[in-house]
Structure 1
């Protein structure tokens, strides 16, 4: 075969020298034609109005196509003139506050400490929101429908519970998980309250001999609360014991957002606070008073109905004198009596529409217990449902999802629960906590143990949180198909380190996927700071409004209407709830126009 030189080829290419447009120097090129003038060609195409019009029409079509499948479309299409005007005003107020109240977002200068980030850290922004935000004042006036994810002990602020304890000088006791020998012990210890007989043996928590053991026979870890209150200021340079306890019961800004805080650390702190609440509430007088004041709080928040989640694994609460015990049936009787009393008060004032349906109870038990204990918990739930068919409305497993056990661990018991309910012709839907996690492995090492899978398989009516659901495209479709509602709790998710602020929350993705959601406050008394009136749902609706630029007044309405649709009210009650809500919503929109229309 003939060898060809490197530049030889069977067919010679025509080559020419092309001048460099910058230097004039000629280089080898492929054509004799002058190079195109890119600027002229580019300018010519920028003046091509036909292409621009085609692009504009394509974008308009794309936007309209997305709008046609938007999650809040039903609310937008049925909006009244007042609602549309209110929606425009709220949008203008939100954008004005974003630019002016919280600093110019276009500025490149490093902001000062007084400049806050709208939709940024909730506890950092809270005081500014409550004192200066028109948008928050609007959220406070908003009719909110039903509150579907609220833990029983966490609606009222700790200050009130601590005040009630003053009236039990002989029977309210406190214990600590370690001796309080030094101020540094105060930050790390866990405290628990309990009502017991006045002659209960006591110890000195401030002594080096103090033994916190409380399960062993003959142990005596308790100290009279009145004595503790008197002793604490002498040991802590005048610091008030009640002030110290309130701080233990509420998550503080520095411990939530501290640079060294971890997910496990904030969950441990949250559990400490939860356990401190328990004994201050779980005795007969406080139990009664709590129901009435919780309803008053919800009426102020413009909530018409709620489903409370008590932890019912402890089967008894004591009487105020510590001498008697109230079992689960007695506790349910107290709830019914206090709800009936409050409804009668409202009826006497011709205000029953403010809270016409009372409350229902979702039976909660921890996910950490053995299977045999879970079996007895389920049986207790079924027995309560048979005795109180209009009060018990669901069953839930609670606890941090990054710790054992996942829902599927109890699949045999849960399936038996479902079949038992069918046999007895009762309905107790599952309302699982699921997806409240970043790991999403059900407290195991296996991603297949995600609680979201079992929530679908067990036909949950609703799930609490659902934060990690967008990781599962198939499950997103299943949730939409089965109409499994998600109980959003944005502030809770931020403070427990699922996201740094509401703008990072996954709720816009869940809504965009067409999954029905409601807005809830989870544990407001732990999350809102030490104050008298938590405005819990107002804070939540404010947060979702500033957390996503696509949220609107129409979106607010859709979320509130879903809270009625996915509640456990009867069909007749839901129709009545919608009638009341429609009237209140129109009044709310007119209020916005009247107050902010200028």
Structure 2
């Protein structure tokens, strides 16, 4: 057979292209304790001989061999490959059990549920990974969700403190407050369709007598934002709305429904309009002293119940978010808010320690709205720095620094985190605050204080806009973590730079779906990020509004990809501790506690569901891990 120069050139170009394709995998080899040069040589030889077999008539065996080897290389360079390579026999067995649980759920929970009827009578079967809010009934019934609740999740790094518990928690507290008032932007009129009850936007507030502006929200002559006592509202409601109790109606006003989330005309912008209205409603239920104290305590209990060792919370620090005294007579400033958090957390940890239990506590990320003016941002940065000096162990600090390496190298200097929050498309882009942020960094350097930026960015579909460019500024400003990062895979150069600098992405899968960035979990950007070995953590964002917990987000991450397994969960949990704002001692203690939790979880998992794997024929050694 004669092979011309053109054929050889094409073969060589093909080999070089494939070699370039696999170059990113080579950077992962230190994690796998392999030799980059050895694998590079073997890969080049393998691709060379594979290319030459193309000239042979009978190529099916060679093709299948090459195919298997490429898939094997993908597995060996996957984000969870290190966990898989170091798996203990118990982990291998537990991974098979999780696979069996997934299969059982698919057949007995989703497969047994009736198909739903769509447009023109089309039937739609139920399946794991379908739209979250329409699947919540089956998710909570699934055995995998039971497993997700027991999973040791490590650290929760992206949670907004005013929206992390079920709505009824704050509503029940509000019922006990004599000075709690409710207002509406329109009268609630009992007409034929009760449309005003659907459209109205409510707000709550604790008011002193002098601040009342009384009105009857159910009267036709009600003027927007007149105040009505919450007790009076609850008493009158049943006379004007027969379809629900006031409690259930108010809860529905605070959570996203499938109809408004997935409606054919809904957009991300529209979902954010609903979201912003609900956060305004939440604000008055949250910003008074008793609620803040009780909510903090209940949040800590919820973390422990959800098997979370530690959290970094994002309260909004701005003048309009200051707390009211319970009688509405005065305000508690941002420093007072910090005192409340410290008091409650200290008491909670003391009680747990007395009971022989461990909880890693929480730290605060200083957040202020991105709609702020540059002068307001400058003032917030100054207060952030002052808080770090006052409470160095409470403001998020000690984050790991990768120094352009994959393996985490911890540093000694304590750090505080700073973030700008709110809807990206309606706030000012980061570039509007470059002067203030750079001046702040210079000020910190002069005082030998290191404060990393933990920016929300990439939470958008506005490609090619200045909103989309927030990722550029987050990179150049040296952000150590970014919140959401949904748009990051569309910027491959920025993604590679963030990966090289050890920037971690705080994934919020359910939040991104409900707010219109993806219709289902399978289309989420997280799988592209993980395929490129970008470090990520799993987070719940604003679980109150989405009817979700961190366990639900871990569940969604698992069911969104067929080959996601126990080792993926493990790596995500480990990264959450590695990228938390902890000092060396805190991190070592927490990692040791997590390892203990992990072993106990594996034992429970195999004991509780191991029979399912045996029934499915998943005996030891029957399946590669």
> TM-score per shorter chain, which class?
0.7 to 0.9
1:148 matched to 2:157? The reply is yes
Q: Secondary structure at the match of 1:464?
A: strand
Whole-angstrom CA distance in 1 between matches of 2:340 and 2:602 = 38
Q: Secondary structure at the match of 1:597?
A: helix
1:543 matched to 2:556? The reply is yes
> What are the within-5 Å matches in structure 2 for residues 199-598 of structure 1?
199-201=210-212, 202-212=214-224, 221-237=226-242, 239-314=244-319, 316-351=322-357, 353=358, 355=359, 357-393=360-396, 394-441=417-464, 445-446=465-466, 450-528=469-547, 534=548, 536-598=549-611
Give the alignment partner of residue 136 of structure 1, picking from 142, 145, 154. Answer: 145
1:56 matched to 2:59? The reply is no
> TM-score, normalization: structure 1?
0.84
Unaligned runs of 5+ in 2: 1-52, 397-416, 612-625
**CA 1:96–1:236: 2 relative to 1, 3 Å:** closer
Whole-angstrom CA distance in 2 between matches of 1:242 and 1:200 = 26
Unaligned runs of 5+ in 1: 1-44, 214-220, 529-533
Whole-angstrom CA distance in 2 between matches of 1:207 and 1:266 = 30
Superposed CA RMSD in Å reads: 2.3
Whole-angstrom CA distance in 2 between matches of 1:284 and 1:395 = 24
- Residues 36-74 of structure 1 show CA distances to partners (whole Å, capped at 9, x for unaligned) of xxxxxxxxx9xx997333223322321232223211111
Judge conservation of contact 2:132–2:520 (CA < 8 Å) in 1: yes
Q: Secondary structure at the match of 2:505?
A: strand
Q: Secondary structure at the match of 1:154?
A: coil
Following superposition, the deviation at residue 574 of structure 1 comes to 0.7
Judge conservation of contact 2:310–2:362 (CA < 8 Å) in 1: yes
Partner of 2:201: 190
Partner of 1:21: none
Judge conservation of contact 1:401–1:440 (CA < 8 Å) in 2: no
Whole-angstrom CA distance in 2 between matches of 1:163 and 1:199 = 25
Following superposition, the deviation at residue 583 of structure 1 comes to 1.4
- Residues 505-544 of structure 1 show CA distances to partners (whole Å, capped at 9, x for unaligned) of 111100011100000000001101xxxxx5x111111101
Judge conservation of contact 1:232–1:239 (CA < 8 Å) in 2: no
Partner of 1:34: none
**CA 1:150–1:113: 2 relative to 1, 3 Å:** farther
Partner of 2:7: none
Judge conservation of contact 1:402–1:440 (CA < 8 Å) in 2: no
Whole-angstrom CA distance in 2 between matches of 1:104 and 1:190 = 39
Q: Secondary structure at the match of 1:563?
A: helix
Structure label with greater radius of gyration: 1
Following superposition, the deviation at residue 127 of structure 1 comes to 1.1
Partner of 1:124: 134
Higher mean alpha-carbon deviation, 143-152 vs 122-131, is at 122-131
- Residues 349-408 of structure 1 show CA distances to partners (whole Å, capped at 9, x for unaligned) of 111x2x1x2111111111112211221122222222221111122111111122241111
Q: Secondary structure at the match of 1:295?
A: helix
Q: Secondary structure at the match of 2:328?
A: coil
Whole-angstrom CA distance in 2 between matches of 1:471 and 1:461 = 20
Judge conservation of contact 1:305–1:359 (CA < 8 Å) in 2: yes
Q: Secondary structure at the match of 1:193?
A: strand
